[in-house]
């Protein structure tokens, strides 16, 4: 009888070690799966935020385009960026949205800047950096002086923007 209990005790200890090892392996697998799910959740949250931002821009553009006093200016690529083009939508209050496509990638430390030109006076707009496909959007406020019969242009400038154009013109509207 003593040998039976001692052999059952040894078997129980071995079984307990195996169960403990299985629990540790299961715990490690669950931890890895949890980490993977957290990374996926973070990626999806970032993607959702980007989609919300795009949706907000689309709604703002729709509101601007459907306003009764909306105007559009088409900007065509110059010799530097012949495949590029842009549309600038704006209203009488000067609220404006630019949508550009096909711009070359901006070098490090550089960005594209919008210009409002009237009677040879160049007024700076905001800067923007297009995505890897050369597409960019931006909201700006057109100065009072440039709301009627202005020419719009886009140049490559330092990322912080400048008060007078220094770079070549990549896109320009007709006068």
At residue 79's C-alpha, the angle toward residues 87 and 112, to 5°, is: 50
User: Is residue 76 a contact partner of residue 114, using CB atoms and an 8 Å limit?
Assistant: no
At residue 119's C-alpha, the angle toward residues 116 and 125, to 5°, is: 10
Q: Distance (Å, rounded) from C-alpha 162 to C-alpha 140?
A: 15
Read off the pLDDT band of 1 (50, 70, 90): low
Q: For 83-107, how does the pLDDT look when each residue is reduced to its tens digit (9 = 90+)?
A: 999 999 998 888 899 999 999 999 9
> According to the model, what pLDDT value does residue 147 have?
80
Instruction: Write the burial class of residue 46 (CB in 10 Å: 0-12 exposed, 13-18 middle, 19+ buried).
Output: exposed
Q: Is the pLDDT of residue 2 over 60?
A: no
Q: Is 151 left (phi over 0), alpha (psi -120 to 50) or beta?
A: beta
Q: For 104-156, how does the pLDDT look when each residue is reduced to its tens digit (9 = 90+)?
A: 999 999 999 999 999 889 999 999 999 999 999 899 999 988 887 789 999 99
Mean pLDDT in the chain? Answer: 89
Q: What residues form DSSP beta bridges with 75?
A: 86, 173
The backbone torsions φ and ψ at residue 154, rounded to the nearest 5 degrees and listed phi first, read -130, 130
Query: DSSP 3-state assignment of 171?
Result: strand
Q: Distance (Å, rounded) from C-alpha 151 to C-alpha 122?
A: 9
């Amino acid at each position: 009888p003593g040998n039976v209990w001692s052999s059952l005790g040894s078997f129980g200890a071995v079984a307990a070690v195996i169960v403990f090892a299985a629990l540790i392996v299961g715990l490690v697998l669950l931890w890895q799966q949890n980490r993977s799910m957290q990374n996926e959740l973070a990626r999806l949250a970032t993607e959702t935020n980007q989609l919300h931002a795009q949706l907000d821009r689309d709604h703002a553009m729709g509101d601007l385009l459907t306003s009764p006093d909306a105007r559009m200016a088409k900007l065509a690529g110059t010799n530097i960026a012949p495949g590029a083009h842009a549309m600038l939508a704006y209203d009488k209050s000067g609220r404006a949205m630019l949508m550009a496509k096909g711009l070359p990638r901006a070098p490090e430390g550089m960005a594209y800047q919008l210009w409002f030109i009237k009677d040879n006076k160049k007024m700076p707009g905001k800067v923007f950096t297009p995505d890897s496909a050369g597409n960019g959007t931006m909201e700006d406020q057109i100065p009072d002086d440039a709301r009627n019969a202005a020419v719009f242009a886009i140049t490559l400038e330092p990322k912080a923007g400048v008060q007078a154009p220094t770079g070549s013109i990549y896109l320009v509207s007709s006068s």
